[in-house]
Amino acid sequence: MNIKIRSLFLVLFIISGMLPASSQAQGIEVCDNGVDDDNDGLIDLNDEDCACQIIEPISLIPNPSFEDQLCCPTRRSQMDCAATWIQASAPTTDYIHECGWLGWPNLPIPLPIPDGEGALGFRDGRFPQMENNNGGNSDNNPNWKEYAGACLTSPLKAGVSYTFRFYIGFTNAESSPPINVTFFGTTDCKNLPFGNGDSAFGCPTNGPGWTRLGVAQASGNNEWRQLSINITPTEDIHAITIGPPCNSSSASQNPYYFFDNLVLAEQSAFEFDIKADTQPCANDLSLSIPNYDSLTYQWYKNGKALIGETLSQLQQPPSDGRYIVVLTSSESCNMTRPFDFAAPQFFNQINQTICEGENLNFNNRQITTSGTYWDTLKSVNNCDSIIQLTLTINSNLETVVNAKIFPWEIFNIGNHQFSEKGTYNRTISSSFGCDSTVQLVLNHYAVYIPNIFSPNGDGVNDFFTITGGQDLTAVKDLTIIDRWGNQVYQQNASASRDSNKGWDGQSKGKKASTGGYLYTANLFMDDGKERAISGMVTLIR
């Protein structure tokens, strides 16, 4: 018998509440008894004999699951391969598809992808672990925020309530920490893209024309989560973008996430979505859909009927799995979209430093050794909270510091200040309160600056210049000013270790007058720092 005809007979039998005694002999699957009636290894909704129309809102976002393609991605940053999608920000999102590129090897996408074979990958901040296009390490950029956008098939109307439902995917808990997914809108498609090519521009509301429509908090670990944002725009919205929040990322890794199945429609189109009545970790959590006397209900978990669950509200507490409700009336059979339930797991990373000889109490464990430790606790909402503790033991160190300064400078160690040459021993406390012993060996730079010179051609002190040893890298510039404020000499950068170079006492080709002159100079020392100095020199003949 043709499968569609068998399914039609089956629907009619379900509606009437009757099934012929010979049904099993005919090999027809009964769709609500949790038994493999036709012995094909498939039970209830997992069997194609039990096909039923899914109640599905039509998304105002075109190509909501990234299935319509202009090309198959072969590498990162190819969002232009997904039809109708626009690379909204200068930092580029990634188009991931099973026909080609499946994402970064160290940031695997959870499989299967919720709807079809395509998805979007995006990050919130960029850090040195991420390789750039040249194969080297990229610079830190906590405002590196990747967004993709789209022009809507029909604008959101001001004052009308809409629901935005989507899937967000997570890699491991370290690379995908909790995130506030943020949804933005604009009144004009011309505002896509935004940011004028600036990779540190951040979120779209940092510029004109955009408004934040809503936020949803999400967390996960190697999994997909389905979230919803309810909005009522105050003006007509013609284009949207979605991605990370506006605040700068403070993560030490490269936070990376995925999007799929972005459905935006009026709230009434989501009436028969399964909803959780309380927060997902509550002991009294229940799932439900709207109740109508004209409908009969049957709940399923992972495609298998839950015997006795025939009300609009699930009577037993849900456990991790995929839930569906089949609704039948005298005229039709419809099925809700799957509702994937998994009690959230929150990830918290703690970096702690203690002093040598101390210990740390970590959930009733006394830890005295540096390392990374894990534990799972119950949050205030009864959800699992995964804690990663990275413990560092700060040893009581004895450190020798060799330093050079000019006589007029101050060298600081903790709260101690030094200016005279010598060897000093001090005990200081770190920011963690651990004591360390520091031995400071302090010397002065060997730089010679004469206070008098005689440019008379006798070979002695004929030039005014600044000289020094190997610790003087260069004299960036040397300027001589007379008593009336006129510049009489200018020297550009030189190594300045030659005492027979410098100012020869000439000004505009003539001998300068005897007397006092002001000098200014900028010195580069071997510590890499530039120092400005000034003083007086006397010219005699």
pLDDT tens digits, one per residue of 28-60: 899 999 999 999 999 999 998 898 888 889 999
Report domain extents, the chain.
3-53+289-336, 79-270, 345-394, 398-444, 447-539
CB atoms within 10 A of CB 4: 10
Torsion of Cα atoms, 514 then 516 then 522 then 526, to 10°: 90
Q: Which of 444, 381, 386, 434 lies closest to 410 in space, CA to CA?
A: 444
> 478, 489 in Cβ contact below 8 A?
yes
List Cβ<8 Å contacts ≥24 apart for 205-212: 205/246, 206/246, 210/184, 210/185, 210/186, 210/241, 211/184, 211/185, 211/186, 211/235, 212/182, 212/183, 212/184, 212/246
Instruction: Please calculate the CA angle 384-390-392 and round it to the nearest 5 degrees.
Output: 155
- Per-10-residue mean pLDDT, the chain, length 541: 36 39 59 92 92 89 96 95 96 95 93 94 78 48 92 97 96 88 96 93 94 92 92 96 88 86 94 84 85 94 95 91 92 89 74 83 85 75 74 79 89 88 85 78 90 89 88 89 92 64 89 93 88 92 84
Per the DSSP assignment, residues forming a β-bridge with 214 are: 183
Torsion of Cα atoms, 181 then 186 then 188 then 189, to 10°: 0
* Distances from the Cα of 334 to the Cα of 52, 286, 318, 328, 438, angstroms: 6, 22, 22, 6, 77
CB atoms within 10 A of CB 142: 16
> 161, 265 in Cβ contact below 8 A?
no
Rounded to whole angstroms, the Cα distance separating 64 from 67 reads 8
3-state secondary structure of 413: strand
CATH code linked to domain 3-53+289-336: 2.60.40
CATH code linked to domain 447-539: 2.60.40
Does the bond joining 105 to the residue before it have cis omega, within 30 degrees of 0? no
DSSP 281: T
Strands (E), 64-105: 86-87, 94-97
> 451, 536 in Cβ contact below 8 A?
yes
Q: Which amino acid is at 115?
A: D
Q: Which of 56, 25, 27, 31 lies closest to 296 in space, CA to CA?
A: 31
> 375, 387 in Cβ contact below 8 A?
yes
Which residue has tokens 């232009």? 80
What's the chain's length in residues? 541
**What was the pLDDT predicted at 381?**
55
Global pTM reads: 0.56
Options 2.60.120.260, 3.30.43.10, 3.40.50.1370, 3.10.580.10; CATH of 79-270: 2.60.120.260
> 287, 275 in Cβ contact below 8 A?
yes
Rounded to whole angstroms, the Cα distance separating 177 from 527 reads 40
* Distances from the Cα of 147 to the Cα of 90, 182, 237, 444, angstroms: 9, 10, 17, 55
**What was the pLDDT predicted at 163?**
95
Tell me if 3-53+289-336 shares its fold with 447-539. yes
Report residue 488 CA to chain centroid gap: 57
